[in-house]
Amino acid sequence: MLEQIDLQNVLVLDIETVPQYADFEQVPETLKKLWAAKTQYQRKDETPEEFYERAGIWAEFGKIICISVGIFTPGTPAGLRVKSFAGHDEKLLLQQFCTLLSKQSKNLMLCAHNGKEFDFPYLCRRMLINAVPIPTQLEISGKKPWEVNHLDTMELWKFGDYKSYTSLSLLTEIFNIPTPKDDIDGSMVGHVYWQESDLPRICVYCQKDVVATAQLLRRFRAEELITDENITIV
């Protein structure tokens, strides 16, 4: 039961990803061909070059530039501490994230919106590519389903219905979770990173998604939202 979970043993996370190269012209020829083959059914009428702005979605062609995490803090009222690992050196930020996890319980629960389909596998794939050992909390190989400590707020909302995707923005709206009006959305992250070189702006956007996911988890438990003054960015 969700209500029985100790939120202090839950780490909420979100990642931001971009294409590995600033534009399609910089992609090595071999990878260009593999990109065309990989996306042939998704592109429809678009060329591989036109479709490349979406390359960040695929772990084989993208990279992680920001990982934001949130930890629930004890007390009344409840609080949330948010921290980010961001940078151009993907291996370094993955190592920093793994160092954080190594200091936590092996039974720590990881929570993300659409995490089981995107964040968790993407992190693992990029760790393998960067020769970073996968931490216990992300490892699912050999584990039974009930032994995997992963929470997914989108999966919780589905109640077993696998037909559709429900965005975090839609859920925060219907649950009356106040969120700042962002000047960017997920589709703009690649442009802001490669063309505007504004990583701090992306980091703030990522942190907002962590806060929204944490608040949604509390709503799912019929609990009061965490007030702004009890949310700390460290």
Q: Does 73 score more than 80 pLDDT?
A: yes
Q: Does 109 score more than 70 pLDDT?
A: yes
User: Can you give the pLDDT at residue 74?
Assistant: 86
The CA distance from 195 to 204, in Å, is 18
User: Can you give the pLDDT at residue 26?
Assistant: 97
Amino acid identity of 169?
A: S
Q: What is the mean pLDDT of residues 72-101?
A: 95
User: Can you give the pLDDT at residue 27?
Assistant: 97
User: Can you give the pLDDT at residue 182?
Assistant: 67
- Return the closest-CA partner of residue 184 out of 176, 172, 192: 192
- The residue assigned the tokens 């960040």 is 56
Here the tokens at position 229 are 């003054």
Give the predicted TM-score (pTM) of the model.
Answer: 0.94
Mean pLDDT of the chain: 93
Q: Does 130 score more than 90 pLDDT?
A: yes
User: Can you give the pLDDT at residue 14?
Assistant: 97
Burial 182-205 (b: 16+ CB within 10 A, else e): eeeebebbbebbeeeeebebbbbb
User: Can you give the pLDDT at residue 37?
Assistant: 96
Q: Distance between alpha carbon 185 and the CA centroid of its chain, in Å?
A: 13
The CA distance from 68 to 84, in Å, is 4
Q: Does 146 score more than 90 pLDDT?
A: no
Q: Does 75 score more than 90 pLDDT?
A: no
User: Can you give the pLDDT at residue 131?
Assistant: 98
Percent of the chain having pLDDT more than 90?
A: 81
User: How far is the CA of 184 from the CAs of 25, 103, 105, 107, in angstroms?
Assistant: 25, 33, 35, 35
Query: Under a CB-based contact definition with an 8 Å cutoff, are residues 234 and 84 in contact?
Result: no
User: Can you give the pLDDT at residue 163?
Assistant: 77
Domain 2-20+61-219 CATH (choose: 3.30.420.10, 1.10.260.40, 3.40.50.280, 1.10.10.10): 3.30.420.10
Domain layout of the chain by residue ranges: 2-20+61-219
- R_g of the chain computed on alpha carbons: 18
The CA distance from 13 to 21, in Å, is 25
pLDDT tens digits, one per residue of 158-184: 998 877 789 999 999 999 998 866 678
The CA distance from 48 to 3, in Å, is 46
